Amino acid sequence: PAQEWAEQYVGSLRHARQTSSYDAGPFSELSLAATLPVQQVVASYKACERSAGQRLLIFGLLGTLIDYESFASLQPPPQWVRRNLAALAASPHNTLVVLSGRERALLNEWLGDLPIWLVAENGLWIRPPPGWESGGGGGGGAAASGSAASLPASTWEMVAEGVDDSWMASLKPIFKYFEARTPETLTEVQEHTITWHYCDAADEFADVQAVALQSHLVKVSGNAPVEVGLDMKRVEVRPYGVSKGAAISRILEQLSARWRLEQRIESEERLARLTEEPAERLSRRSGSLSPDE
């Protein structure tokens, strides 16, 4: 009951904020997208190369790489987007991540050949670049030495363990019911999550429907290990503890572990060279001396 009340309350607040002209003071602009400071971004990007630093570039699929119309009609990212991603991944200073709510099979089909990290189902699945498991890939210039398609395919890793999706059969008809009675909406059923999109629907009616759908899903899901979210013109049910932030944390852990391994190998090789050089000089000197000397 407490969870249901909280979900309804938060949903009502979001709806009120979207439909009201109430002055929220210093917080009134938080929902508005600020203009990208292009010059500042470019300067920071170039400064990273001068300092031999590393950049983690994270892109959302919907709204960044493709628009909602392409998303709803299952159109893949255009070729110019793929070329730009490959060009960014070719830099030894860059590691690229593409986040999406789409299922992993579709992401593999659209972007799986690129040397980038993929995150599917809003954080449930992550996939390293091709060749990662064999010690290659990882972005950071992986594309510079050849096509990622020639590298061994990478496997998908489930971020959450023991996912129970037995709830999907009972909740899917509810999503379909709201889709049918709300024009210009879309229900997206993935392997372990279900999402209702209402980006193109009439604002006021769709906002009311979204709050009602969220409330009903919370009530029906009961004690199922899921989270019901309402945000960014969508209502989503996903396994508990799954998020894009958790997926990025897992990727950073793997990148950090790979970096520490590479640093250790480099240190061992440097130490080996330092110990071999005196021995080689001594050997050459001994060989140059005559027996009388």
**Which residue is associated with the tokens 């790489």?**
65
**Which residue is associated with the tokens 């971004």?**
41
Q: Are 245 and 58 in contact (CB under 8 A)?
A: no
Q: Are 236 and 194 in contact (CB under 8 A)?
A: yes
- From first to last of the 293 residues of the chain, give the pLDDT tens digit: 455 556 666 666 666 666 555 554 444 555 555 677 889 988 888 888 788 788 999 999 998 999 999 998 999 999 999 999 999 999 989 999 999 999 999 999 999 999 999 999 989 999 999 988 766 655 555 444 445 556 677 899 999 888 998 999 999 999 999 999 999 999 999 999 999 999 999 878 999 999 999 999 999 998 899 999 998 899 999 999 899 999 999 999 999 988 888 788 878 887 887 777 665 665 666 665 555 55
Give which of 8, 19, 3 is closest to 212, Cα–Cα.
8
**Which residue is associated with the tokens 């897992």?**
250
Determine the Cα–Cα distance for residues 21 and 165; give it in Å rounded to an integer: 40
- Kindly state the greatest CA–CA separation across the chain: 104
Q: First CA to last CA across the chain, in angstroms?
A: 96
pLDDT at 107: 94
Residues 90, 95, 99: CA angle, nearest 5 degrees:
115
Give which of 201, 161, 190, 179 is closest to 101, Cα–Cα.
190
Non-local (6+) Cβ contacts of 217 within 8 A are 171, 174, 228, 235, 237
Give which of 86, 40, 38, 39 is closest to 59, Cα–Cα.
86
Rounded to 10 degrees, the C-alpha dihedral 133/135/139/140 comes to 160
List helix spans (H) across 99-138.
Answer: 104-111
pLDDT at 279: 59
- CB-CB neighbours of 177 under 10 Å: 13
- CB-CB neighbours of 108 under 10 Å: 16
Two tokens, residue 29: 């602009």
What is the separation of C-alpha 196 from the centre of its chain, rounded to a whole number of angstroms?
Answer: 20
Beta strands in 61-116 (DSSP E): 94-99
Q: Are 179 and 185 in contact (CB under 8 A)?
A: yes
pLDDT at 232: 86
**Which residue is associated with the tokens 């793997």?**
254
Determine the Cα–Cα distance for residues 15 and 28; give it in Å rounded to an integer: 15
Q: Are 189 and 203 in contact (CB under 8 A)?
A: no
Element (H, E) at 36: none
pLDDT at 267: 82
